[in-house]
Every structure is written in C-alpha cells, then in structure tokens.
C-alpha cells in the first residue's frame, strides 16, 4: 500500500523544512520575523503539552462504537469533542498527507496561488470563513496566522492533473482519505443519531457526503508580537469536523468549563469536533464546541481538517430553533462577517434571538 503514496513531490529551490522559506509567504508578510527560534533547552512539561503523557480529552474507540454507546453520548454532551482511535485509516496515509502538505506549503506564495487559479481548489491566507477577507493585502494585524487550501471533495474527479500538476501530489492521497472520512463520518453520525433517538429520512440528509470539504492548513511559526492567533476562538458550522493534526506540534485548544485546554498531538489518532449543525439537529443536547489555534514560535504546524454539512436545502427542524437550511445559515454567517466582522452563529436562528 505504501507505494500508492509515493509521488513526485513538488520541487522547490529552497525546499528545506527546517528553514523558513520567505518566498512561501505573501509579499506583504515577508518583512515579519520568520526566524525559527531555537527550541527551549528543557521544555517544562507543565507548560508544553507535547511533553505530557496525556490530556483529559475523551477517547472514543471507533471499533467499539456499538458496544459502548454511552461513552460517545457523554463525549458529545459534555465536550462536543473527542479523540478517535482505531479508526482504520492506515498510518502511512495520515503521514503521507502531512508530508505532501508540508512540501506544498514550502512552495512560493506565487506558485501556490498560481496552482489554484481556475481550479476547484482555493488558496487563502487568514480565515475567510471567520473574518473579513483581504488579509494578504492588509498585513498581519487582526489576521489569523494561517494559510490553507480548500478542497471541495465532490470536485476531486474533475481535477485535471495536467492543468494542476502542483496539486496532484495532494489530490491522490486526499482521494483515498475521502473514502475513509465518509465511512467514519457516516458511522459516527448514525451512532449519534441513535443515541439521540432521531428518525432520519434518507431523502433529507442531515449529513450529506457530497457537501464534504477538506481544508489543508499550515500555521507558520512566528515570533512577531504583531501576530496573534493561528485561528481565533470559533465554533465550526459543520455537522462534524474530523482533524488529522500534526504529530509533533501542538496548537489546537478547546474550551471546556471556561478553561482552555491544549490538545496533545498523538500520532495515529484523529480529533473529532461537533459543529453548529449538530448542535441544532440535537436540539442543543450536543455541543458545538469552541476551539482556537495558537501559534508556535519554534515550529510550523500542519493540520488537515474535514468538514461535512447537511444537504444544502434540507430544513433542520428542532424545538429550539426556527427551521432553517444550511444554505440560509451560511448566508447569515457571511452577512454577519461582512457587517459586524464576526460570526454570530446559531443564536440568529433561536426562536427568541438573544440580544
């Protein structure tokens, strides 16, 4: 199987991952301090989560979902967040995705932008889904310090490898990854629906695989004081989000009982978080969890995130919220970001909107 993931990686004159490659940043951000600080000599295990043996995040064993339903139910109610083990994705594939992503991000900004023009993939800096866009021309203030590729999974068969040779290295492993993601998301969602006693109509999918998208992120290391978060605190708009995060570099933090907890990077595990659509579908019994990503001064962090949504025109019916479709939700989020500069989210659809 390993051979499947050996491709010609994009070549780059300055392709040394231990160095910061200035060309990989947009011109407006190239003046910032990109030097990698040397790692601290003796990391303090209390401050550095990568040095800790574990974290309190609930662990769900995918191979035992049917035997231990209550564990999943508790994780969804109390946390809206869990670590998934025994998920059946080969470790070689998870690692391959990380490696090709790293290679791709080390290309020049212009090459990355050029590779995506006229393609179904979009390339961005900052977080257009959370904050007003235009970050690559505005500079680092108020910008989320992250770059990424947005890959709509339904479009994968329509990529033209000759037109998009640079993206071919990542398209192939994503194609295999997609099959696993659909299997995992569907099984998890069905187990959650059972726990919630939801009667699902197959014709009106609350989890529509064709809506799935993968976002591949790089959070460059940065020691510049002007730069704040990799991704500021937010909830996801999805039903479920499944994250393949860097094996070594931490950054993801989750809000639990008003405390921010850092999620330890553990190889061969996935992080699952519930999004706004799942909270609405469950009538607030399950939580759309607030999370954020911090920047590491010493090392860049790669993460590969899968989001799946309801069918665009499927009405979500619940007691707490007025019926709404994902299309309406997304339009409202975009409108709020434009008018207010931030996402308001589910409270917009409550029967009595909170002030």
Ligand X SMILES: O=C(O)CCC(=O)C(=O)O
Q: How many residues does the chain have?
A: 355
Name the helix (H) or strand (E) containing 94: helix 91-105
Token code pair at residue 43? 């990391």
Nearest C-alpha neighbor of 307 from the set 175, 163, 159, 181: 181
Neighbouring residues of 355: CB distance < 8 A, sequence distance ≥ 6 = none
φ, ψ of residue 85 to 5 degrees: the values are -120, 165
Residue 284, by phi and psi: left (phi above 0), alpha (psi -120 to 50) or beta? left
CB of 188 to Fe ion, least distance (A): 17
CB of 34 to ligand X, least distance (A): 20
* 236 makes contact with Fe ion (CB under 5 A): yes
Please identify, using beta-carbon distances, which residue of 236 and 300 lies nearer to Fe ion: 236
φ, ψ of residue 272 to 5 degrees: the values are -115, 130
Nearest C-alpha neighbor of 109 from the set 14, 26, 217: 26
Task: Name the catalytic one among 171, 215, 301, 348.
Answer: 301
Helix 91-105 with 165-196: angle, nearest 10 deg: 130
Please identify, using beta-carbon distances, which residue of 188 and 270 lies nearer to ligand X: 270
Q: Can you count the helices (H) and strands (E) in the chain?
A: 7, 14
183 has catalytic annotation: no
- C-alpha to C-alpha distance for 25 and 34, rounded to whole angstroms: 10
* 246 makes contact with Fe ion (CB under 5 A): no
User: With contact defined as beta carbons under 8 Å apart, do 144 and 133 qualify?
Assistant: no
Please identify, using beta-carbon distances, which residue of 168 and 276 lies nearer to ligand X: 276
- How many chain residues touch Fe ion (CB under 5 A)? 1
Please identify, using beta-carbon distances, which residue of 147 and 236 lies nearer to Fe ion: 236
Q: Which does residue 293 bind out of Fe ion, ligand X, none, counting CB within 5 to 8 angstroms by kind? A: ligand X
CB of 49 to Fe ion, least distance (A): 18
Q: Which residue number is nearest to ligand X in terms of Cβ?
A: 303
Judged by CB under 5 A, the chain residues 192 through 231 that form the site for Fe ion are none
CB of 241 to Fe ion, least distance (A): 6
Q: Which stretch binds Fe ion (CB under 5 A): 133-141, 185-193, 234-242, 343-351?
A: 234-242
Q: Which does residue 252 bind out of ligand X, Fe ion, none, counting CB within 5 to 8 angstroms by kind? A: ligand X
Per-residue DSSP letter, 161: T
In the complex, the residues that contact ligand X under the rule CB under 6 A are 215, 217, 231, 236, 243, 245, 252, 291, 293, 303, 305
Please identify, using beta-carbon distances, which residue of 194 and 330 lies nearer to ligand X: 330
CB of 296 to ligand X, least distance (A): 12
Binding site for Fe ion (CB under 5 A): 236
Q: Which residues are catalytic?
A: 301
């Amino acid at each position: 199987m390993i051979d499947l993931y050996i491709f010609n990686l994009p070549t780059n004159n300055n392709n040394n991952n231990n160095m910061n490659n200035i060309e990989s940043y947009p011109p407006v951000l190239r003046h910032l301090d990109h030097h990698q600080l040397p790692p601290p000599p003796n990391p303090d295990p209390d401050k550095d989560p990568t040095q800790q043996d574990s974290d309190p995040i609930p662990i769900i064993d995918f191979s035992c979902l049917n035997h231990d339903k209550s564990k999943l139910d508790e994780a969804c109610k109390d946390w809206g967040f869990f670590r998934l083990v025994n998920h059946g994705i080969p470790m070689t594939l998870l690692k391959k995705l990380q490696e090709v992503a790293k290679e791709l991000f080390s290309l020049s900004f212009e090459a990355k932008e050029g590779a995506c023009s006229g393609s179904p993939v979009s390339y961005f800096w900052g977080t257009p889904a959370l904050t007003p866009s235009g970050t690559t021309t505005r500079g680092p203030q108020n910008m989320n310090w992250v770059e990424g590729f947005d890959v709509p999974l339904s479009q994968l068969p329509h990529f033209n490898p000759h037109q998009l040779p640079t993206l071919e290295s990542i398209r192939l492993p994503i194609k295999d990854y997609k099959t696993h993601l659909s299997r995992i998301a569907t099984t998890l969602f069905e187990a959650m629906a059972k726990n919630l006693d939801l009667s699902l109509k197959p014709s009106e999918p609350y989890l529509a695989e064709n809506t799935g998208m993968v976002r591949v992120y790089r959070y460059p290391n940065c020691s510049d004081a002007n730069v704040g978060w990799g991704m500021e605190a937010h909830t996801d708009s999805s039903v479920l989000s499944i994250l393949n995060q860097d094996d070594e570099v931490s950054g993801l933090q989750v809000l639990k009982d008003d405390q921010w907890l850092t999620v330890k990077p553990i190889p061969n595990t996935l992080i699952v978080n519930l999004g706004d659509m799942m909270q609405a579908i469950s009538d607030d019994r399950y939580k759309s969890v607030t999370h954020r990503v911090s920047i590491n001064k010493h090392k860049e962090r790669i993460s590969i995130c899968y989001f799946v949504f309801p069918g665009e025109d499927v009405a979500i019916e619940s007691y707490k919220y007025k019926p709404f479709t994902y299309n309406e939700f997304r339009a409202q989020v975009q409108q709020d970001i434009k008018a207010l500069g931030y996402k308001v989210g589910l409270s917009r659809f409550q029967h009595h909107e909170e002030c």
